[in-house]
Amino acid sequence: MLQRKGWKILLLVVFCAIFMVACSDDKKETDSSEVKGEKEPTTEKKEELVVAVNENFISMDPHNTGDTNSNSVQSAMLEGLLGFDDEGQIINVLAEDYSVSEDALVYTFKLHQGIKFHDGEDFNAEAVKVNFERIMKDKSLRLNSRGFSLIKKIEIPSEYEIKITLKETYSPMLTRFGVAKIISPKSVKENPADIPKKPVGTGAYKFGEWVQGDHLTIERFDDYWGKGDRVKKITFKPVPESGSRVAMLKTGEAGVIYPVPSQNIAQVEGDKNIQVFKVPSTIAHYVSINTYKKPFNDPKVRQAFNYAVDKDAFIKVVNFGLGVPLDSIISSKTIYYKKQEAYAQNIEKAKQLLKEAGYPKGFETEIWGNTNSDTMKGMQFIQQQLKQIGVKVEIKSMEEGTLSDEIYGAQTPDDAKLQMWYVSWSSYASDVTNATKPLFHSESFPPNGANTAYYNNKEVDKWMDEANSISDKAKQEELYGKIQETVYKDAPWIFLGVDEIVYGVRSDVEGVVVEPTGGLNVKDANFK
């Protein structure tokens, strides 16, 4: 009896096991069907964002940088007491709050606490003092030092409070505090030579590596004091050839390209995997003319060049209709902008002006620019336009760093080899000083500033200095109106156009913004 009972139990167990396996197989088929028909396969989140830009980077020293691409990389790693929102208005960053005395001579900042630099050093008032003293004392830091020579004294009432007193009123000083990024005091004291190559800041990303001409990588700083989820690594690649940038975006080799070449916009707009953004800007495109040397020391020659060049055609041909002609020395988005009577193309008038200047048959000259394809196209356009009035233009293109060295390496106007330079300039909409003084004040000749036209008008200098020393906005507007009228008439530039910025982003990328100045902000970049 015991054996028969055991046999029955065994059969029951086997039957149950078979039934369970069958049920399990049915469940597996159901799950498999759901995966194939309804669910997408899961993939690991990407950890590296590649950004392809049009030019190389010059320097990572925030106190001596003038090019947009270098500034774009720095903005993800470095921060100032103040900063700027998407419209160019001043906001608090490392400063929790600030106040300005009634006479606009004393600026007091209350600082955020608990912030660390990427090397572990504490951010505090002493760190700010070390940075500002570096800008004040190091004469090689010319590009971003405006206003700091006016500092009379720096006081530290407490660990997280700093007071700056000026010798005289300087109306754009808050903007200068926003532009001046704060780097680790340890790097300033112990490794100053490394700052242009690998800066140490407080930003969302820390420096990774820089292989000149190939790439520059930044890495997420996991102890960042700010909020937000960000991609682990961002690699910037200089790709001057516009077609190559577009190919990188379409294949997914790059998650972001800036700018999208005008001629390729329709091509990328039709790709469902790409988002194309267009942003009005403050970027003024122009040809800087060396007014110090013959034949360009004669304003009639410079005016002739402006009448020879068709600005509407420039927008249509070079920018594919993106932008507007530059009808002043600043963009229409910049405060105190005043529209001027534009130099409408008039070939006969241009020839007559050249004849009056003593060049009835024209002359030979050269134009400099970087190697990216958009710049080459612009220089070729200028070359063709000036040919109509008998001026033969030789194009000389150089890698960005070499070009910068050639231009800003000139210690005096006599040293300058530059004749014409195809270039652009941008400023925050609220910063008319930065849109004018570095470009037209006689104190801003290279290497001290970007007045590469060597424009020298003492009355314009006086108006600029006065505008910077007062807080009366109506008077400032009057002065900047006179500045615009005078400089535009003197024509130290060929006034071309104001860009509309176009950049492309893969559809799985978010948090990338281009500011009206042309700066690429990737601080909050991530994959969706």
Q: What is the pLDDT of residues 97-141, one digit of tens each?
A: 999 999 999 999 999 999 999 999 999 999 999 999 999 999 888
Rounded distance, CA 341 to CA 307, Å?
12
pLDDT at residue 10, rounded to an integer: 35
Q: Enter the DSSP assignment of 342.
A: -
Band of residue 14 on the pLDDT scale cut at 50, 70, 90: very low
Q: How many CA atoms lie within 13 A of 292 on its CB side?
A: 19
The chain-wide mean pLDDT, for the chain, equals 91
Alpha helices in 155-204 (DSSP H): 173-179, 185-190
Orientation of helix 458-468 relative to helix 473-490, angle to 10°: 160
> Can you point out the beta strands (E) in 180-289?
181-182, 205-211, 215-220, 233-238, 256-258, 274-289
pLDDT at residue 43, rounded to an integer: 58
Q: Which residue has the tokens 């200068």?
A: 176
Q: Do residues 454 and 290 touch, judged by C-beta distance below 8 A?
A: yes
Kindly state the tokens that stand for 462: 């006086």
Rounded distance, CA 341 to CA 377, Å?
27
Q: Work out whether strand 256-258 and strand 392-398 pair parallel, antiparallel, or are unpaired.
A: unpaired
Kindly state the tokens that stand for 418: 């530059």
Kindly state the tokens that stand for 42: 């899961």
Q: What is the pLDDT of residues 303-332, one digit of tens each?
A: 999 999 999 999 999 999 999 999 999 999
pLDDT at residue 19, rounded to an integer: 39
Neighbour-count burial of 406, counting CB atoms closer than 10 A to its CB (0-12 exposed, 13-18 middle, 19+ buried): middle
Q: Which residues of 508-524 are buried (b: 16+ CB within 10 A; e: fewer)?
A: ebebbbbbbbbbbbbbb
pLDDT at residue 49, rounded to an integer: 99
The Cβ of residue 460 has, within 10 Å, a number of other Cβ atoms equal to 22
Q: What is the pTM of this model?
A: 0.84
pLDDT at residue 3 greater than cutoff 70: no
Kindly state the tokens that stand for 143: 């590009």
pLDDT at residue 140, rounded to an integer: 87
Q: Work out whether strand 364-370 and strand 420-425 pair parallel, antiparallel, or are unpaired.
A: parallel
Q: What is the pLDDT of residues 195-227, one digit of tens each?
A: 999 999 999 999 999 999 999 999 999 999 999
Band of residue 41 on the pLDDT scale cut at 50, 70, 90: very low
Q: What is the pLDDT of residues 444-502, one digit of tens each?
A: 999 989 999 999 999 999 999 999 999 899 999 999 999 999 999 999 999 999 999 99
Q: Do residues 475 and 261 touch, judged by C-beta distance below 8 A?
A: no
How many secondary structure helices (H) and strands (E) does the chain include?
15, 23
pLDDT at residue 33 greater than cutoff 70: no
Rounded distance, CA 225 to CA 509, Å?
23
CA 108, 109, 111: angle at the middle one, nearest 5?
A: 155
pLDDT at residue 365, rounded to an integer: 99
Rounded distance, CA 198 to CA 208, Å?
8
DSSP lists the bridge partners of residue 527 as 509
Rounded distance, CA 30 to CA 9, Å?
32
User: pLDDT exceeding 70 applies to what percent of the chain?
Assistant: 92
pLDDT at residue 73 greater than cutoff 50: yes
CA 83, 89, 90: angle at the middle one, nearest 5?
A: 40
**What is the set of domains in the chain, with CATH numbers?**
45-60+203-273+507-528 (3.40.190.10), 79-195 (3.90.76.10), 280-500 (3.10.105.10)
Q: Enter the DSSP assignment of 314.
A: I
